[in-house]
Amino acid sequence: ALGICCLTLGWAMFRHRLLRIMPLAYDTILHNIPHGLLVVDHQNRILSLNPAVQRYLDDPGQEAIGKTIEQAFSRLVASFNGLLQRKTAIIEELELGDVTIEVRLTPLHDRAGHSRGRLFIFQDITQRKLADLARQRHQDFVEALQNSTATLNSTLELDGVMVRILKTGGGVVPH
Protein backbone atom coordinates (compact mmCIF):
# COMPACT_ATOMS: atom_id res chain seq x y z
CA ALA A 1 0.00 0.00 0.00
CA LEU A 2 2.86 2.38 0.84
CA GLY A 3 4.50 1.64 -2.49
CA ILE A 4 1.30 2.41 -4.40
CA CYS A 5 0.86 5.65 -2.45
CA CYS A 6 4.46 6.72 -3.17
CA LEU A 7 4.14 5.76 -6.81
CA THR A 8 0.88 7.74 -7.18
CA LEU A 9 2.36 10.77 -5.41
CA GLY A 10 5.51 10.61 -7.49
CA TRP A 11 3.51 10.32 -10.71
CA ALA A 12 1.34 13.33 -9.67
CA MET A 13 4.40 15.44 -8.84
CA PHE A 14 6.11 14.84 -12.15
CA ARG A 15 3.05 14.55 -14.38
CA HIS A 16 1.27 17.62 -13.06
CA ARG A 17 4.43 19.49 -12.03
CA LEU A 18 3.23 19.98 -8.46
CA LEU A 19 6.72 20.93 -7.33
CA ARG A 20 6.62 23.96 -9.62
CA ILE A 21 3.37 25.41 -8.23
CA MET A 22 4.98 27.17 -5.24
CA PRO A 23 7.82 28.81 -7.21
CA LEU A 24 5.33 29.89 -9.86
CA ALA A 25 2.99 31.40 -7.27
CA TYR A 26 5.94 33.06 -5.53
CA ASP A 27 7.24 34.56 -8.78
CA THR A 28 3.78 35.71 -9.84
CA ILE A 29 3.13 37.50 -6.56
CA LEU A 30 6.65 38.91 -6.29
CA HIS A 31 6.66 40.38 -9.79
CA ASN A 32 3.10 41.74 -9.81
CA ILE A 33 2.85 43.43 -6.42
CA PRO A 34 3.07 47.22 -6.86
CA HIS A 35 5.18 47.78 -3.74
CA GLY A 36 8.90 47.18 -3.66
CA LEU A 37 9.87 44.02 -1.78
CA LEU A 38 13.39 43.31 -0.56
CA VAL A 39 14.42 40.25 1.46
CA VAL A 40 17.80 40.23 3.20
CA ASP A 41 19.66 37.82 5.48
CA HIS A 42 21.53 38.60 8.72
CA GLN A 43 24.53 40.04 6.85
CA ASN A 44 22.22 42.37 4.86
CA ARG A 45 22.81 40.31 1.71
CA ILE A 46 19.96 40.56 -0.76
CA LEU A 47 18.14 37.25 -1.13
CA SER A 48 15.21 38.43 -3.22
CA LEU A 49 13.78 41.62 -4.67
CA ASN A 50 11.05 42.52 -7.10
CA PRO A 51 11.01 44.92 -10.07
CA ALA A 52 9.28 47.67 -8.06
CA VAL A 53 12.28 48.03 -5.75
CA GLN A 54 14.87 47.80 -8.52
CA ARG A 55 14.29 51.44 -9.49
CA TYR A 56 15.96 52.43 -6.21
CA LEU A 57 19.12 50.47 -7.00
CA ASP A 58 22.26 52.44 -7.84
CA ASP A 59 22.27 50.69 -11.23
CA PRO A 60 18.74 49.37 -11.95
CA GLY A 61 20.09 46.97 -14.56
CA GLN A 62 22.58 45.28 -12.23
CA GLU A 63 22.14 41.90 -10.58
CA ALA A 64 21.61 42.64 -6.89
CA ILE A 65 21.01 39.13 -5.51
CA GLY A 66 23.91 38.20 -3.23
CA LYS A 67 25.15 41.77 -2.81
CA THR A 68 24.76 43.67 0.42
CA ILE A 69 22.30 46.52 0.74
CA GLU A 70 25.28 48.86 1.04
CA GLN A 71 26.63 47.70 -2.34
CA ALA A 72 23.33 47.74 -4.24
CA PHE A 73 21.67 50.78 -2.62
CA SER A 74 24.64 53.02 -1.74
CA ARG A 75 22.69 56.26 -2.37
CA LEU A 76 20.04 55.12 0.13
CA VAL A 77 22.43 53.90 2.82
CA ALA A 78 22.58 57.22 4.71
CA SER A 79 18.79 57.26 5.11
CA PHE A 80 18.55 53.51 5.38
CA ASN A 81 21.27 52.94 7.95
CA GLY A 82 19.06 53.28 11.02
CA LEU A 83 16.78 50.63 9.56
CA LEU A 84 19.65 48.25 8.89
CA GLN A 85 20.40 48.01 12.60
CA ARG A 86 16.79 47.28 13.60
CA LYS A 87 15.73 43.76 14.53
CA THR A 88 12.08 44.61 15.25
CA ALA A 89 9.21 45.70 13.02
CA ILE A 90 9.13 49.40 12.22
CA ILE A 91 7.76 51.85 9.66
CA GLU A 92 9.95 54.76 8.52
CA GLU A 93 9.67 57.48 5.89
CA LEU A 94 12.65 58.23 3.68
CA GLU A 95 13.04 61.45 1.70
CA LEU A 96 14.81 60.90 -1.63
CA GLY A 97 14.88 64.27 -3.31
CA ASP A 98 11.28 65.04 -4.22
CA VAL A 99 10.11 61.46 -3.57
CA THR A 100 8.91 60.16 -0.19
CA ILE A 101 9.07 56.44 0.44
CA GLU A 102 7.51 54.56 3.33
CA VAL A 103 9.65 51.59 4.32
CA ARG A 104 8.19 48.81 6.46
CA LEU A 105 10.66 46.48 8.09
CA THR A 106 9.44 43.06 9.19
CA PRO A 107 11.68 40.43 10.78
CA LEU A 108 11.38 36.97 9.24
CA HIS A 109 11.35 33.92 11.52
CA ASP A 110 11.23 30.19 10.86
CA ARG A 111 8.67 27.92 12.48
CA ALA A 112 10.89 27.46 15.53
CA GLY A 113 11.00 31.24 16.04
CA HIS A 114 14.62 31.72 14.94
CA SER A 115 15.36 34.89 13.02
CA ARG A 116 16.15 34.19 9.35
CA GLY A 117 16.35 37.69 7.89
CA ARG A 118 14.21 40.74 7.24
CA LEU A 119 11.63 41.87 4.72
CA PHE A 120 11.59 45.49 3.58
CA ILE A 121 8.45 46.79 1.84
CA PHE A 122 8.86 50.06 -0.08
CA GLN A 123 5.84 52.21 -0.93
CA ASP A 124 6.02 55.55 -2.75
CA ILE A 125 3.83 57.88 -0.67
CA THR A 126 4.76 61.13 -2.43
CA GLN A 127 1.21 61.79 -3.66
CA ARG A 128 -0.22 61.11 -0.20
CA LYS A 129 2.26 63.53 1.38
CA LEU A 130 1.41 66.23 -1.20
CA ALA A 131 -2.31 65.71 -0.56
CA ASP A 132 -1.72 66.00 3.22
CA LEU A 133 0.21 69.24 2.69
CA ALA A 134 -2.57 70.68 0.51
CA ARG A 135 -5.17 69.61 3.08
CA GLN A 136 -3.18 71.31 5.87
CA ARG A 137 -2.86 74.54 3.84
CA HIS A 138 -6.60 74.48 3.21
CA GLN A 139 -7.27 73.92 6.92
CA ASP A 140 -4.98 76.85 7.83
CA PHE A 141 -6.84 79.06 5.34
CA VAL A 142 -10.24 78.06 6.77
CA GLU A 143 -9.03 78.81 10.31
CA ALA A 144 -7.76 82.23 9.19
CA LEU A 145 -11.15 82.98 7.65
CA GLN A 146 -12.91 81.88 10.84
CA ASN A 147 -10.64 84.12 12.92
CA SER A 148 -11.32 87.03 10.56
CA THR A 149 -15.06 86.45 10.87
CA ALA A 150 -14.78 86.40 14.66
CA THR A 151 -12.83 89.67 14.52
CA LEU A 152 -15.47 91.28 12.32
CA ASN A 153 -18.20 90.22 14.71
CA SER A 154 -16.38 91.43 17.81
CA THR A 155 -15.77 95.07 16.85
CA LEU A 156 -17.25 97.81 14.76
CA GLU A 157 -14.05 99.86 14.36
CA LEU A 158 -13.00 99.48 10.69
CA ASP A 159 -9.27 100.24 11.16
CA GLY A 160 -8.96 97.71 13.99
CA VAL A 161 -10.80 95.08 11.97
CA MET A 162 -8.53 95.54 8.94
CA VAL A 163 -5.33 95.32 11.03
CA ARG A 164 -6.53 92.12 12.73
CA ILE A 165 -7.61 90.55 9.45
CA LEU A 166 -4.24 91.32 7.85
CA LYS A 167 -2.39 89.83 10.82
CA THR A 168 -4.56 86.71 10.82
CA GLY A 169 -4.61 86.15 7.06
CA GLY A 170 -1.01 87.21 6.41
CA GLY A 171 0.38 83.87 7.54
CA VAL A 172 -1.86 81.93 5.19
CA VAL A 173 -2.43 84.08 2.12
CA PRO A 174 0.72 85.08 0.20
CA HIS A 175 1.14 88.83 -0.45
* pLDDT at position 81: 61
Intra-chain end-to-end CA distance of the chain, in Å: 89
Q: What is the pLDDT of residues 60-88, one digit of tens each?
A: 667 888 888 888 877 776 776 677 777 78
Cβ burial, residue 151 (10 Å; 0-12/13-18/19+): middle
Highest mean pLDDT among 23-32, 89-98, 131-140: 131-140
Residue 135 binned pLDDT confidence (cut-offs 50, 70, 90): very high
> What's the burial of 131, exposed, middle or buried (CB within 10 Å: 0-12/13-18/19+)?
exposed
Contacts of 39 (CB under 8 A, 6+ apart): 46, 47, 48, 49, 108, 117, 118, 119, 120
Give the pLDDT confidence score for residue 44 in this predicted structure: 86
For position 155, what pLDDT does the model report? 67
Q: What is the mean pLDDT of residues 108-125?
A: 87
pLDDT value of position 97: 78
Helices 158-170 and 126-154 pack at an angle, to 10 degrees, of 170
Give residue 94's pLDDT.
82
Note the helical H segments in 33-125. Answer: 51-54, 69-72, 77-84
Full DSSP string of 103-157? EEEEEEE-TTS-EEEEEEEEEE-HHHHHHHHHHHHHHHHHHHHHHHHHHHHH---
Mean pLDDT of the chain: 76
Strands 99-109 and 115-124: antiparallel
Inform me whether the pLDDT recorded for 22 exceeds 70: no
Is pLDDT of 20 > 60? no
Model confidence band, residue 173 (pLDDT cutoffs 50, 70, 90) = low
Q: What percent of the chain has pLDDT over 90?
A: 3
Please indicate whether residue 86 or residue 101 has the higher confidence score (pLDDT): 101
